[in-house]
Amino acid sequence: MKHYRYMTVLLTIFGFIACHQDNKTTGKTTATAKYEPLPAYFQGERNRMHSDSFSLHKTITLNGVKDTATITGADSTALQDLLKPFSDIDLNKPSLRDEYDTSSLYDPFSGRKSVIYKSKGKQTFPSEVTMELDKNGTIQQVNIHSYTVNMVYEFRQDLFYQRNKNIRIATYQKIAFLAPKEVEVNVAVTPKNRM
């Protein structure tokens, strides 16, 4: 009977060790993602803009009719809504594995790097992501292009994010037998200490 207790304790210890090692390797695979983790980047940008209290001057154009508004960085809900189309782009999802070709250009003088993720030909959402990184590897600019076209529906969206300067979201949507809808959001980003 004593032999079985020792065996049970020994197997339990080996089980814990195996689970612990498995958790370590799982953490490594998420840390070494194939593509830039855009949801985490935009979550960080939202937090930074909220804590540094940026002022956002927003112009919205819906089918040619303009409206303007000012948002302070303290309004985290408005910031989250504004950056949601960007943070929803996650090329590291299992369903998008190996759906993109990656190319990059490096400027040896400035240390800046351009990275392009382009869909391999299917109507993948998004179809292309272009990023500009500074010499420290921090994303300074992101362009995201998406489209979907079929017999009944057409959707195009261009997202542009320039750190500390500008945010632009342009969307075109056409459903068969209905008038097309075009929405454009332009946001000038201004740090409060520069005003």
Q: What is the mean pLDDT of residues 121-131?
A: 84
Q: Is the pLDDT of residue 168 over 90?
A: yes
What is the model's pLDDT at position 18? 43
Q: Is the pLDDT of residue 160 over 90?
A: yes
User: Is the CB of residue 135 less than 8 Å from the CB of residue 112?
Assistant: yes
Distance CA 15, CA 10 (A): 9
Distance CA 195, CA 186 (A): 19
Q: What is the mean pLDDT of residues 39-67?
A: 89
What is the model's pLDDT at position 50? 81
- Please confirm whether the linkage preceding 126 is cis (ω < 30° from 0): yes
Neighbours of 178 (CB within 10 A): 8
